[in-house]
């Protein structure tokens, strides 16, 4: 079982969510976050002077998947978000040792599926 953290542009949240849903990935947690990658972010204001900001708004989708479903999830996210420009996003994959559904006591993958 894996935890997958997906960081993407705010405008790409709905297209990504819809694609994940169509691919069979329905359970997710969404967060509004701010941050940046290795490239600085530049904005041009109407006054004409470019202003450099350290952080930019992003969305984070957090999901738990079976090991055998991981590549399908990654492929779905990349297909929707890849523009070959800085800021397309990041995908982090972490191992999950166990999960417990509090209500029923189910453990492992059954607790989250």
User: What does the pLDDT read at residue 36?
Assistant: 77
Give the residue among 107, 11, 16 at the shortest CA–CA distance from 61.
Answer: 16
pLDDT tens-digit profile of 60-107?
Answer: 999 999 999 999 999 999 999 999 988 899 999 999 999 999 999 999
Q: What is the pLDDT of residues 16-67, one digit of tens each?
A: 999 999 999 999 999 999 887 777 665 555 555 555 567 888 999 999 999 9
Q: What does the pLDDT read at residue 43?
A: 55
**Domains in the chain and their CATH numbers?**
2-111 (3.30.70.120)
pLDDT at residue 40, as a whole number = 64
pTM here is 0.83
């Amino acid at each position: 079982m894996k935890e997958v953290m997906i960081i993407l542009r705010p405008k790409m949240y709905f297209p990504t969510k819809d694609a994940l849903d169509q691919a069979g990935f329905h359970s997710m947690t969404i967060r509004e976050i701010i941050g940046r990658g290795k490239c600085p972010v530049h904005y041009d204001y109407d006054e004409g002077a470019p202003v450099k900001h350290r952080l930019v708004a992003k969305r984070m989708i957090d999901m738990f998947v079976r090991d055998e479903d991981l590549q399908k999830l990654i492929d779905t996210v990349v297909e929707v978000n890849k523009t070959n420009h800085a800021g397309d996003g990041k995908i982090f994959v972490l191992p999950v040792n166990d999960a417990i559904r509090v209500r029923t006591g189910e453990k492992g993958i059954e607790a989250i599926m």
